[in-house]
Amino acid sequence: MIVPLVAELAALMSIATACALLGRSRASHYRAEAEALRRAGLPFGPEPAPVRGPRPTPPNALTDAERQRV
């Protein structure tokens, strides 16, 4: 199969170059890689963004009285 060949070549060069040499699109490679990780129960993709608290009020924010007039 091509997936192990891409992995072997990727150790020597970029994924893009390895895929180009083998005639495989990078999208197909990454989809197959994600599916293999999914089947193995391993995490894949970007890390989820951290949960943040509420944003502080900016110093130039309108006061309640100014907001009422607007």
State residue 1's pLDDT score: 61
Residue 34 lies in a domain: yes
State residue 37's pLDDT score: 87
pTM attached to this predicted model: 0.56
Residue 25 lies in a domain: yes
Give the number of other Cβ atoms within 10 Å of residue 29's Cβ: 20
Residue 62 lies in a domain: no
63: number of CA atoms within 13 Å, CB side?
2
CA distances from 4 to 1, 50, 52, 57 (A): 7, 34, 40, 53
Length of the chain: 70
Q: Report the chain (70 residues): mean pLDDT per 10 consecutive residues.
A: 79 91 91 89 85 94 93
Residue 31 lies in a domain: yes
Residue 63 lies in a domain: no
Q: How many domains does the chain have?
A: 1
